[in-house]
Amino acid sequence: MGKWTVEEVARNAQGNLIGNSDLEVAGCIIDSRQAQGGEMFFALVGERVDGHDYMEAVWKKGAILVIAEEARFQGPEKTPFVPDGKALLLVKSVFATLQKLAQAWRLELGAKVVGITGSNGKTTTKDMIAVVLSQRFQVYHNKENHNNELGLPLTILNAPLGTEILVLEMGMRGLGEIRALCDIAKPDVGVITNIGTTHLELLKSQERIAQAKWELVEALPEDGIAIINAEDFFSVQKAKKDVHSIQFYGVEGNLVEPNTKGAKLRPWGALGTTFDVSYMGEKSTANLPLPGKHNVLDALAALTVGKVLGVSLAEGCAGLAKLELSKMRLEVRYGIFGTTLINDVYNANPISMQASLQVLKERAGGNKTLAILGEMYELGTSAESGHREVGETLAKLGVSELITVGKLAEEIAQGARLAGFSEEHITVTSIREEAVAKAKDLLNLHGPGIWVLIKGSRGMKMEEITVQLEESE
């Protein structure tokens, strides 16, 4: 954020201010270790850490304003000490104040807001949209996947003056959560990447997942624009009944003809993809530093957002070529024994895992392939079938070797068996160390040239396997 004074913060928050009121606030934090100077610190109470315990420390590190719960300082014996040149704002709820101030700063910025949600590809699509729009505008977006009730308002509050477009990823675990984020962000454009089975454990049905995701579109103003995946059945069905302006993107066009269409996908570099793109007669060619059709679809979503906000296809494609990839998402690394590793361990669900297996086979060409696959979480009643679908896809693609990690991942092995995959090429392990030992044996056996995919849900910490299989410098 930029030119708010402590007094203006207090006025927007409607709290009780103690200390210097004319200090200028520069940014906001919820972790005292991130203080560099000039910030306001929200003393949130977490499961293990209480921000109120770090008030003195964060002032010493340079923060100028602490926002704290007034209930902590009731009674004369609890009157807080505020150092010279610092300020303390006492409010009923720090959490509610964080969101309230984000609402106020979003309006003061006057920026356009693009909201992104979906079961897969949210963060990648957010990064792509940001780089496309940055070709013409001053853009600010969530760092990594700061997409929840804390991360989103923090992102807004840290957006500097002069920001023309805010690009905000929105995550959710249940009904009403996207709506609550939209109440803060007030999106003008809404992007839904797809509606899959992630969060099925919590929402019980794909229809309820669709309902939760569609809260983003429902929150758009009358003149808002929804950007929808033309190849996602549930999204297309929801779009048919929606009153907003809809822009579709896709490659196949089997469900509905896309406004933005990709064609002639071909490899580019180690893991990149070149494709042709058209939008209402305008044509260009994109060089995307990511593999697979699923990433091309995300790129088409970004190019569509660019078009509706005034960025040409040529400008958007130039931006995509400069995309900086997030860590642990389809990273290519050099492995031991002359092997190539695809480190795709940020997260996993059946759709993304099947897509990564396709990338593995596509990029390995005629070389042997090894998939080291961990458990996928939050699939609810679809846990068994979702894992088995991955194993079936692996068998159909003709991956050479499979190592599974964890109890749930045994169903991947079972799905592969049922699809005709040879038992002698399956290794089931319960812990990462077992998987590493078996992988080293296989890599030594097959020698240089084998390609290895490492993937699993974030909680599996599959990156620790990657580290053990990397070639030491």
Domains in the chain, ordered, with CATH? 4-96 (3.40.1390.10), 110-321 (3.40.1190.10), 331-469 (3.90.190.20)
Residue 12 annotated as part of some ligand binding site: no
Taking phi over 0 as left and psi of -120 to 50 as alpha, with beta for the rest, 416 belongs to alpha
What value does the CA radius of gyration of the chain take, rounded to a whole number of Å? 24
Q: What pLDDT is attached to residue 210? A: 87
pTM of the model: 0.81
pLDDT of residue 201: 52
Angle between the N-to-C axes of helices 383-397 and 350-364, in degrees from 0 to 180, rounded to the nearest 10: 10
Can you tell me the distance from the alpha carbon of 356 to that of 362, in angstroms, rounded to the nearest whole number? 10
299 burial level (CB within 10 Å; 0-12, 13-18, 19+)? buried
Q: Is 430 a known ligand-binding residue? A: no
Q: How would you label 426-449 residue by residue, b for 16+ Cβ within 10 Å and e otherwise? A: bbbbeebeebbebbeebbeebeee
Cα 415 from Cα 197, distance rounded (Å): 18
- The length of the chain in residues reads 473
* Helix or strand run (H / E) with residue 11: helix 6-13
Give the pair of three-digit tokens for residue 126.
Answer: 């957010």
Question: How far is 55 from 190, CA to CA, in rounded Å?
Answer: 38
Coil, strand or helix at 73: helix
CA dihedral sign, ordered 70, 76, 77, 83: positive
How many Cα atoms sit within 13 Å of 131 on the Cβ side?
23
Give pLDDT, residue 199: 46
Q: Is there a binding annotation on residue 254?
A: no
197 is in an annotated binding site: no
How many helices (DSSP H) and strands (DSSP E) are in the chain?
Answer: 17, 22
Strand 189-192 vs strand 225-229: parallel, antiparallel, or unpaired?
parallel
pLDDT of residue 1: 52
The neighbour count for residue 124, using CB atoms within 10 Å, is 26
119 in a known ligand binding site: yes
Closest of 337, 299, 301, 284 to residue 449, by C-alpha? 337
What is Dmax (Cα atoms) for the chain? 77
Residue 168 one-letter amino acid: L
Going from the first residue of the chain to its last (473 residues), give the mean pLDDT of each consecutive group of 10, the final group possibly shorter. Answer: 85 94 92 93 92 95 96 79 94 97 95 95 93 98 87 95 96 90 97 75 70 94 97 93 96 94 91 94 96 93 98 98 78 92 90 93 93 93 93 97 97 97 97 97 92 94 96 69
Give CA–CA dist 279/297, Å, rounded: 14
Structure tokens at 206: 């794909």
Question: How far is Cα 96 from Cα 13, in angstroms, rounded to an integer?
Answer: 9
Distances (CA, A) of 459 to 164, 378, 385, 463: 36, 11, 20, 10
